[in-house]
């Protein structure tokens, strides 16, 4: 017989450090890099694999799940960018805050479109080990087109809406919709086909990789601080 607590999530009492799980500052940043920044990509990939074998009507919903992960990937990248570009606070203290929204995301998009990769590294106070990721960010097409997804996710009550779901017509378009704190509705539309979902998953993976590349370069510099080669 299975243990009655099997599969349950339990709260733990941990030492108060200001970081989740009682982690130290650097340990928190490393676990954020290892897990929080990978989660959107892994979740999007899992939804994409499920979509291939799903019923036709369910594929639109799985596309919506991938779109939600893409919105999180945008916001995680924005959080990393903000933490690295403003060193008045520790990186960990910035990353532990609520995820940034569409205004901050638009600033990242602006810089990605106007800064040369070398300028982006200076903005983030990173060394040349991250140049490939800065180049990949500069090469991303139509990042501004993701504003709607980020804005809907920022409301905190984003919902997936699929026209024609359950009817005889195969859904071809979805919306991620929400209502902001001022009562203003916001929505972003995206395609519901398998190809649309694959494109969303690819962008999610790329933004996650860029965010991890930037934060990984910072972690490497922290690990090797004060170290001198023989």
The whole-angstrom separation of Cα 153 and Cα 151 is 5
Task: Give residue 229's pLDDT.
Answer: 39
In a domain, 75, yes or no: yes
As separate numbers, helices (DSSP H) first and strands (DSSP E) second, the chain gives 9, 3
Beta bridge partners of 119: none
Domain extent at residue 60: 21-144+194-222
pLDDT in tens, 177-208: 999 888 889 899 998 889 999 999 999 999 99
> pLDDT band at 14, cuts 50/70/90?
very low
In a domain, 189, yes or no: no
CB environment 142-164: b (16+ within 10 A), e (fewer): ebeebbbbbbbbbbeebebebee
Is the model's pLDDT at 113 over the cut of 70?
yes
Q: What is the mean pLDDT of the chain?
A: 89
In a domain, 151, yes or no: no
Instruction: Measure CA of the first residue to CA of the last residue in the chain; give whole Å.
Output: 58
pLDDT in tens, 63-110: 999 999 999 999 999 999 999 999 888 999 999 999 999 999 999 999
- Three-state secondary-structure class, residue 221: helix
Residues 49, 124 contacting (CB under 8 angstroms)? no
In a domain, 5, yes or no: no
Model pTM above 0.85? yes
Is the model's pLDDT at 4 over the cut of 60?
no
What residues contact 52, with CB distance under 8 A and at least 6 apart?
Answer: 194
Task: Give residue 230's pLDDT.
Answer: 37
If one counts the domains in the chain, the total is 1
Task: Give residue 218's pLDDT.
Answer: 96
Residues 215, 32 contacting (CB under 8 angstroms)? yes
Task: Give residue 9's pLDDT.
Answer: 59
The whole-angstrom separation of Cα 187 and Cα 147 is 10
In a domain, 101, yes or no: yes
From the number of C-beta atoms within 10 Å of its C-beta (0-12, 13-18, 19+), residue 16 rates as exposed
The whole-angstrom separation of Cα 128 and Cα 61 is 41
The whole-angstrom separation of Cα 207 and Cα 217 is 15
> What is the DSSP pairing of strand 173-179 with strand 185-191?
antiparallel
In a domain, 159, yes or no: no
Task: Give residue 70's pLDDT.
Answer: 98
In a domain, 174, yes or no: no
In a domain, 119, yes or no: yes
């Amino acid at each position: 017989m299975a243990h009655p607590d099997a599969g349950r999530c339990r709260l733990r009492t941990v030492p108060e450090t200001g970081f989740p799980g009682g982690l130290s500052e650097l340990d928190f940043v490393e676990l954020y890099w290892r897990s929080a920044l990978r989660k959107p990509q892994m979740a999007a990939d899992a939804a994409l694999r499920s979509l291939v074998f799903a019923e036709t009507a369910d594929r639109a919903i799985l596309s919506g799940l991938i779109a939600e992960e893409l919105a999180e990937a945008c916001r995680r990248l924005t959080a990393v960018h903000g933490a690295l570009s403003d060193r008045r606070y520790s990186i960990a203290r910035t990353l532990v805050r609520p995820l940034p929204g569409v205004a901050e995301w638009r600033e990242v998009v602006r810089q990605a479109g106007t800064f040369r990769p070398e300028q982006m590294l200076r903005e983030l106070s990173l060394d040349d080990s991250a140049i490939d990721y800065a180049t990949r960010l500069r090469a991303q097409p139509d990042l501004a087109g993701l504003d709607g997804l980020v804005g809907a996710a920022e409301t905190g009550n984003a919902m997936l809406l699929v026209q024609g779901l359950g009817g005889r017509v195969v859904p071809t378009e979805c919306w991620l919709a929400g209502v902001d704190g001022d009562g203003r509705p916001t929505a972003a539309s995206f395609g519901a086909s398998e190809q649309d979902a694959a494109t969303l998953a690819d962008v999610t993976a790329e933004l996650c990789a860029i965010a991890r590349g930037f934060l990984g370069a910072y972690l490497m510099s922290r690990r090797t601080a004060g170290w001198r080669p023989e």
